[in-house]
């Protein structure tokens, strides 16, 4: 934890005043409010550093009433490791299945702690998606010790952000203002507030150590790095500037690292929060291209000026990219006025763009730069999630299945997206006893082909207790039949 001494601030202040550097900046009204005009305003402090007293007390006192302790109850696994795994799961690993299907069935109640920040007086709060994942009960505690029931309005695992509503929006709460994370600079002072190890309203101080950090958590990595101490239990709590504005949501630490923590930038959080609060879901932009880094060897073979940009290796038919005229072999240099130096830059910029928005791209083709206009589409997986339920509940078969997306088919080395994939097998079900496993692809039921979720639902909706079923499965590169009798339990 960073230790600050009063003498340090006095010396620093004297030096900067002699140099004629202005250290204060009034920033009232600089950011958009997330609350209605008639609502009380969150406190804003008119300083950039703790100058007058050499302390962060003013900022801490302003933000703490809006910080919450998040207590959740969820369903745990069947003992250590959550029970046995199928060979299919062992081969692909648990991370793969978590990505596409979530966790395995859970039975043991587990309690966990996290933090959050209220951003609207009606009781809208932000926290990490992983803090409330699988929670069956959520209780939050405010600074005055009062307890409130909370429910998840929406969560976005790709950015690890969740939006909560306290007391069904029937009460008024102290809240904090979301600041402009883009205006933060490396070296700016910040404080982190939360409940590490359950110790409520803990305040730590540090600086912004770096911006736009990619830590391998996903395509939208754009974290603020800070040396303000962040510990287990701080997840979901705010990272705050010296004006008392939230400029980040604390989310990750480096295991074994000292003074290395990461926060979701407030500008990203604001976009996700606004969409969830207004639409109930998050939409993401999509071009329909496969891309790869531009290595020196590839740059040379495509006669590019340098290795800046990303190489388009494939274009999906009838996609926005195809309609705009992008081709395999194009090198994308700039998108919507932003330089594209690596695949992550394009994924983040496009993913956070609004579907339907027009954008201009600069590409390198045939040893010359070309400008191409494109209308951004909506990511297909986002559309699928909206058009069908998030999951199919176990039916008489005792199976929970999901559609096979192109991405999933590619991961599993499937030749097509025909069929449905088993995401969960209910314990004790007839299908489970017959040998159906998580990760199996269902190709046929009673000699009727399954090409989509619609086929599966059509063929299983009228199955009754006692019906005899023959199911054709694909397991890896092997095909096999299983036969069983549908039961009421399954």
Catalytic residue among 120, 156, 160, 440: 160
Give the separation between CA 75 and CA 110, rounded to whole angstroms: 6
Sequence-distant (6+) residues with CB within 8 A of 68 are 115, 116, 117, 118, 125, 140, 141, 142, 166
Sequence-distant (6+) residues with CB within 8 A of 11 are none
Which H helix or E strand runs over 15?
helix 6-18
Q: Shortest CA distance to 246 belongs to which of 53, 1, 57, 43?
A: 43
CA angle 470, 475, 481 (to 5 degrees): 20
Q: Which contacts (CB < 8 Å, 24+ apart) does range 25-29 have? A: 27/243
Catalytic residue among 74, 112, 115, 130: 130
Q: Shortest CA distance to 465 belongs to which of 432, 446, 490, 488?
A: 488
235 is catalytic: yes
160 is catalytic: yes
- φ and ψ of 477, to 5 deg: -95, 5
Give the separation between CA 76 and CA 97, rounded to whole angstroms: 17
Q: Which contacts (CB < 8 Å, 24+ apart) does range 464-467 have? A: 464/396, 465/396, 467/396
Compute CA distances 345 → 125, 316, 332, 339, whole Å: 29, 20, 11, 8
Give the separation between CA 146 and CA 375, rounded to whole angstroms: 49
Number of residues assigned to the chain: 490
Token pair of 382 as six digits:
């986002």
Catalytic residue among 74, 112, 209, 235: 235
- Residues pairing with 124 in the sheet: 120, 165
Ranges of H-type helices in 310-387 = 320-324, 343-351, 380-387
148 is catalytic: no
- φ and ψ of 7, to 5 deg: -65, -30
What residues are labeled active site?
130, 160, 235
């Amino acid at each position: 934890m960073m230790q600050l001494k009063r003498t340090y601030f006095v010396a620093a202040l004297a030096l900067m005043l002699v140099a004629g550097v202005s250290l204060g900046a009034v920033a009232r009204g600089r950011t958009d409010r997330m609350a209605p005009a008639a609502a009380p305003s969150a406190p804003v402090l008119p300083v950039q550093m703790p100058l007058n007293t050499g302390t962060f007390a003013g900022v801490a006192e302003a933000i703490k009433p809006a910080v919450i302790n998040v207590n959740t109850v969820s369903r745990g696994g069947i003992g250590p490791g959550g029970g046995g795994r199928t060979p299919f799961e062992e081969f692909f690993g648990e991370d793969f299945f978590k990505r596409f299907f979530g966790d395995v069935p859970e039975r043991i109640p587990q309690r966990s702690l996290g933090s959050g920040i209220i951003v609207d007086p009606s009781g809208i709060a932000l926290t990490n998606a992983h803090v409330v994942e699988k929670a069956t009960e959520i209780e939050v505690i405010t600074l005055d010790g009062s307890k409130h029931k909370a429910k998840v309005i929406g969560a976005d695992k790709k950015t690890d952000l969740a939006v909560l509503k306290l007391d069904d929006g029937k009460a008024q709460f102290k809240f904090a203002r979301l600041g402009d994370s883009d205006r933060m600079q490396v070296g700016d002072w910040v404080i982190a507030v939360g409940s590490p190890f359950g110790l409520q309203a803990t305040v730590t101080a540090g600086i912004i150590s770096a911006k736009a950090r990619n830590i391998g958590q996903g395509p939208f990595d754009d974290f603020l790095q800070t040396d303000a101490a962040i510990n287990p239990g701080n997840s979901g709590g705010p990272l705050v500037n010296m004006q008392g504005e939230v400029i980040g949501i604390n989310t990750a630490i480096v295991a074994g690292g000292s003074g290395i923590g990461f926060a979701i930038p407030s500008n990203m959080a604001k976009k996700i929060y606004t969409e969830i609060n207004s639409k109930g879901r998050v939409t993401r932009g999509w071009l329909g291209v496969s891309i790869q880094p531009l290595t020196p060897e590839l740059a040379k073979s495509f006669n590019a000026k340098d290795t800046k940009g990303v190489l388009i290796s494939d274009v999906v038919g009838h996609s926005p990219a195809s309609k705009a005229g992008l081709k395999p072999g194009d090198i994308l240099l700039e998108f919507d006025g932003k330089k594209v130096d690596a695949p992550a830059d394009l994924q983040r910029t496009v993913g956070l763009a609004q579907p339907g928005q027009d954008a201009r791209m600069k590409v390198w083709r045939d040893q010359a730069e070309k400008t191409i206009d494109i209308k951004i589409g909506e990511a297909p997986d986002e559309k699928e999630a909206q058009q069908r339920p998030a999951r199919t509940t176990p039916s008489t078969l005792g199976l929970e299945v999901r559609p096979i997306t192109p991405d999933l088919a590619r991961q599993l080395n499937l030749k097509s997206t025909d069929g449905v994939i088993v995401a969960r097998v209910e314990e004790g079900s007839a299908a489970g006893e017959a040998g159906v496993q998580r990760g199996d692809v269902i190709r046929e039921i009673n000699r009727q082909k399954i090409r989509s979720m619609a086929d599966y639902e059509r063929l299983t909706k009228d199955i009754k207790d006692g019906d005899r079923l023959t199911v054709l499965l694909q397991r890896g590169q092997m095909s096999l039949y299983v036969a069983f009798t549908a039961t009421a339990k399954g």
